[in-house]
Amino acid sequence: MTQETISTDVVIIGAGPCGLFAVFELGLLDMKCHLIDILDKPGGQCAELYPEKPIYDIPALPVVSGQELTERLMEQAEPFGPQYHYNEMVEELEKLEDGRFRVKTDGGLVFEAKVIVIAAGGGSFQPKKPPIPGIEAYEGKSVFYSVKRMENFRNKKVLISGGGDSALDWTINLQPIAESMQLIHRRDGFRAAPDSVNKMHALVEEKKMQFHLGQIVELHGDNGQLTGVTAKGNDGNNYEIECDTLLPFFGLTMKLGPIANWGINLHENLIPVDTEKFQTSEPGIFAIGDINTYPGKLKLILSGFHEAALMSQAAVRHAYPDAKVTFQYTTSSTSLQKKLGVA
C-alpha cells in the first residue's frame, strides 16, 4: 500500500486526556498536531476503561465522567484543527537526516514531524489473551482475537469464549454462516446488551447453537489447527467441545508494544524524562502522562496537563529554534484569543 506522507509539526501518539490537552497547549504556540490512537475513539483509558466512572480530582470540576472529560478536552482542542487517526498503532519511529522524525502505523499511514509527543498512557490496548497453555501455536491460524472478515468463518465450527458485548455480538453475527456455533462463559450472567443476551438464548432454544458454562483449560489440535478443547465446568468436571475455530473475547489490556523498539531509554516499561522539558533520551521526542517517569511522578491526569504545558514550550523551541517565543496568557493576549476564535 502506498500512502502519501503527511507532514506536520507534531505527531502525538495517544489521544487520551494528556494527548488532547497537548493539542491545546501546542496550538497556542502555533504548532499543528496529528493524533494517532490504537482505539476507535478518543479518550484513552478514560474512554476504554472507565467512561462512566466519576473522576473527582480534575481542578474546577468537582466530578466528571471519563466520557465527559474527553468531550470537553476535544472541544477545547478543536480551534486548533487537530487531525485524528483512530484504529492505528504506531509501529515504527525513526529519525531522519534533517532532524525530523518519520512515523509509520500498522495501517500504512506515514507521517513526518518535527516533534513527537508520546502520550500513550500504559502503552497500546491489545486483546487480553486467555491463559491457556500453548495457545500461541494456534493464534492467527485457528484462534483469533478479532473478526476482520466474517467470510473467514463461513462453514467453520466456531467456539466463542467470553461474556461481553463482543462475545455476544459475534456469536449472533457468525451463527448464520458458521457450520456450528458454540459459546462458553464462566457464569450465566453477561455484561452485554440485554437484547443480545435474549437473542443468544433464543438461538439456543431453537437448537441453532449451544451454550456451555465453564472455562477452557486445554486446546487440542495439530500444527496450529484446532480440533477441539477441554473445558472445566463449574461442578469441577471436565468435558470436551469439538470446534475448529476459537474466538476468545476477554476485553483489552495495555501493553507497552512497539515503543520498546524506538531506541529511546526505558525504565521498567516507562520513559524517563526531565522535568523541565519532559523530553526523552532522544531530543525532539517528548513523553507526557502515565507513560513517563521522573522523581516524584504521580500518575494523575492533572500532572499530565502540567507536563503538556511545559513540554509545549520546549517542543516549539525544538521545532523552530529561530522563532521568538513569548509567554502569554489567554486572559489578556489578543493574539491567543484570535487563535481560540474568541477575539
Binding site for other proteins (CB under 8 A): 45, 49-50, 53, 122, 128, 130-131, 162-164, 185-187, 189, 191, 215, 234, 250-251, 253-254, 299
- Residue 102's Cβ-count burial label (10 Å; 0-12, 13-18, 19+) is middle
Least Å distance, CB 181 to other proteins, is 19
Least Å distance, CB 319 to other proteins, is 32
Sign of the torsion angle spanned by Cα atoms 61, 13, 120, 322: negative
Q: Of 178 and 270, which has the nearer Cβ to other proteins? A: 270
Q: Of 109 and 219, which has the nearer Cβ to other proteins? A: 219
If we measure between CA atoms, which residue out of 21, 101, 98, 37 comes closest to residue 284? 101
Least Å distance, CB 251 to other proteins, is 4
Q: Of 250 and 320, which has the nearer Cβ to other proteins? A: 250
Cell triple for 129: 489473551
What's the Cα-to-Cα distance from 216 to each of 228, 241, 250, rounded to whole Å?
10, 9, 13
Amino acid at 159: L
Residue 316 CA to residue 309 CA, distance in Å, equals 11
CA dihedral 75, 81, 82, 85 (to 10 degrees): 100
Three-state DSSP at 85 gives: strand
Cell triple for 259: 515503543
Q: Of 87 and 234, which has the nearer Cβ to other proteins? A: 234
Q: Of 98 and 235, which has the nearer Cβ to other proteins? A: 235
Least Å distance, CB 162 to other proteins, is 7
Least Å distance, CB 238 to other proteins, is 14
